[in-house]
Amino acid sequence: MSELKKTTAWRIYRYYFFVFLTVIALVLPWIQVDGAHFFLLSFDKLKLHLAFVQFDMQELYLMPFLLMILFLGVFGMTVMGGRVFCGWICPQTIFRVIYRDLVETKLLGLRKRIKNKQYEPDMSKAQNKVKRAVAILIWTILALVASSNFLWFFVPPEDFFAYLQNPMDHTILFGTVLFSTLFLVYDVIFLQEDYCVYVCPYSRIQSVLYDENTVMALYDTHRGGHIYDEQKIKQFTKQEELQKNEPHAECTACESCVTVCPTHIDIRKGLQLECINCLECVDACTTVMGKLGKPSLVTWSSDYEITNQKGKTKYFRPKILAYIALLVVITIIMGVMGSKKEHMLLNVNKENRLYSVEKMADGKVKVDNAYEFLIQNTNSKDMQFYFDVILPEGISGKLEIAKPKEAFTVVPNVKKKKIVVLRTYDILSGDGRHDTVIPITIRAFAVGHEDEIVVIRKSTFTYPRADIIKSAK
């Protein structure tokens, strides 16, 4: 492996991974399968799209599982790899790399070298002020794209750009875009890594998740020597001074690992909340020590292996296996529950009037019960719906559907109200003192899909007492 490859390996890998995540984030909202997105939480249309399946807001029982997977995933990632999420996945880090390394350094030359992150550009020069203004303008445009991209997971692009034509009718949406853009400009250009150090709550909880096998960027004091004492006070600034105290110490005191750090820490001081595991200090030390024919003093390893020197890092230890097991179980439960998605939502409400009674010309008595059905088609195309009514065993007689007589059409995403009348000419009860409440089962289905799209609901049919039947007119 060449020296250049050794020097830039982790940084280049991060760049490739950032490009991959950016492309995924930008492209994914545009992909649809049968009108469904991979992930969309639409408050506008009260829909949740997950894995290209549409769910109604009444099916939001899946959201807690998604949140559990998210948090357990991040916590498990922290136990295994420290703040690897911060250095490799977090949008804040990606945005800062785009602005600092790409815009300021590569495009405009405002910063001289990517490896020098400790010192801000000299803004007393007129040329640098112009470059800074151009950098802010470029980032503002990129921040606008990033803010819009974020909202595409809540308002799909096809609706977003349609709403864009009438912004005054969608002030909340575009106010959110504007606010997010301004926040990203302030955050990335002015707040910078102080967000990671002082604002982000994740840095506050990471230390309680660490154990001695947690992998992170570590300085090997056994080889490099102790630059700081136990109180974290710096003792040496030159290699000669260090080697007088520790003759075997290999650290050259070049401070390349310090200069390159985006959060402005000295990795040689030990574990610090500010470290985001970007591994740029590993690359820097690899370059310097590589010229001396020695391995890097800063490595991506664990206290178990480097500091305590107990052996190889234990990656699949009980704590990690527990996180993996929980994630697998929750994912399976969510998958099973998601596979039972109802393609038709149905609420059955009985009207306030218990029944209506009428004597027919042939002497039979007609008893009607009225219901209000609230139906919603959660499929992506129009469907024909109808239903059956099932009486419990032991009841002699039958119920018929007096209204509606035929199947009816329900269009997607629109709640349809339907008045239903159930009728009987049979004597379902001979109770002379009380009305009889008979439990019934309503089996609603999509015509042509009777075995796939079926909803079962329980309700009741009220049959009048015997004296009301006898006195019917």
- CATH code, 426: 2.60.40.10
Q: Are residues 110 and 245 in the same domain?
A: yes
pLDDT recorded at residue 8: 57
Encoding tokens for residue 464?
Answer: 């009048």
139-178, pLDDT tens digit by residue?
999 999 999 999 999 999 999 999 988 888 889 999 999 9
Task: Indicate whether 269 and 359 sit together in one domain.
Answer: no
The answer to whether position 42 is within a domain reads: no
Residue 276 has pLDDT above 50, yes or no: yes
Has residue 57 been placed in a domain? no
DSSP-derived secondary structure letter, 412 = B
Separation of alpha carbons 344 and 415, rounded Å = 10
**Rounded distance, CA 147 to CA 95, Å?**
12
User: Is the predicted pLDDT of residue 189 greater than 90, yes or no?
Assistant: yes
- Are residues 305 and 349 located together in one domain of the fold? no
Please tell me what DSSP assigns to residue 29.
Answer: G
Q: Range of 122's domain?
A: 1-30+82-310
- In the predicted model, what is the mean pLDDT of residues 247-256? 91
Q: Are residues 357 and 240 in the same domain?
A: no
Provide the H-helix boundaries in 122-268.
Answer: 126-151, 157-163, 171-185, 194, 202-209, 221-224, 239-245, 256-259
Amino acid at 169: D
The encoded tokens of residue 385 equal: 């719906």
Which band of pLDDT confidence, cut at 50, 70 and 90, is reported for residue 271? confident
Mean pLDDT of the region 341-366 = 86
Closest CA to 334 of 70, 61, 71: 61
Say yes or no: 137 and 15 in one domain.
yes
**Does 150 reside within a domain?**
yes
Give the pLDDT confidence score for residue 432 in this predicted structure: 84
Residue 316 DSSP SS3: coil
What 3-state DSSP class applies to 350?
strand
The answer to whether residue 37 is domain-embedded is: no
Number of H helices and E strands in the chain, helices first, is: 15, 16
β-pair partners for 373: 348, 418
3-class secondary structure, 199 = helix
Q: pLDDT of 295-322, one tens digit each? A: 999 999 999 998 888 889 998 899 999 9
178 and 238 together in one domain:
yes
Q: At what angle do helices 171-185 and 126-151 cross, to 10 degrees?
A: 140
Which of 178-187, 196-205, 336-345 shows the lowest mean pLDDT across its residues?
336-345
Do 302 and 212 contact (CB within 8 A), yes or no?
yes
Domain count, the chain: 2
pLDDT at 186: 96
Domain limit, last residue, from 291, 310, 329: 310
Task: Look at residue 58 in the predicted model and tell me its pLDDT.
Answer: 67
Q: Which residues contact 24 (CB under 8 A, 6 or more apart)?
A: none
Same domain for 91 and 179?
yes
For residue 392, give the DSSP letter.
P
User: Apex CA 16: angle with CA 161 and CA 102, to 5°?
Assistant: 70
Q: How close are the terminal C-alpha atoms of the chain, in Å?
A: 100
- The reply to whether 88 falls in a domain is yes
Judgement on whether residues 275 and 382 belong to the same structural domain of the protein: no
Structural contact between residues 355 and 367, judged by C-beta atoms closer than 8 angstroms: yes
Please enumerate in sequence order all residues whose Cβ is within 8 A of that of 338, keeping only pairs 6 or more positions apart, or say none. Answer: 50, 51, 53, 55, 62
Answer yes or no: do 211 and 351 share one domain. Answer: no
| 439 touches 405 (CB < 8 A) | no
pLDDT at 18: 96
Residue 360 shares a structural domain with residue 302: no
In a domain? residue 23: yes
Q: Which tokens sit at 106?
A: 């590569």
Q: Among residues 423, 398, 424, 419, which one has the least CA distance to residue 408? A: 419
Side chain identity, residue 162: A
204: left (phi over 0), alpha (psi -120 to 50) or beta: alpha
Do residues 462 and 439 touch, judged by C-beta distance below 8 A? no
Q: How far is CA 235 from the centre of its chain?
A: 46
In this structure, the answer to whether residues 298 and 359 fall within a common structural domain is: no
The Cα–Cα gap between 170 and 168 comes to: 5
Per-residue pLDDT band for 5 (boundaries 50, 70, 90) equals: very low
pLDDT of residue 274: 85
Looking at 258, 287, 310, the residue that finishes a domain is 310
Residues 367 and 241 in one domain: no
Does residue 371 sit within a domain? yes
How far apart, in whole angstroms, are the C-alpha atoms of residue 445 and residue 407?
10
234/268 Cα distance (integer angstroms):
10
- pTM of the model as a whole: 0.77
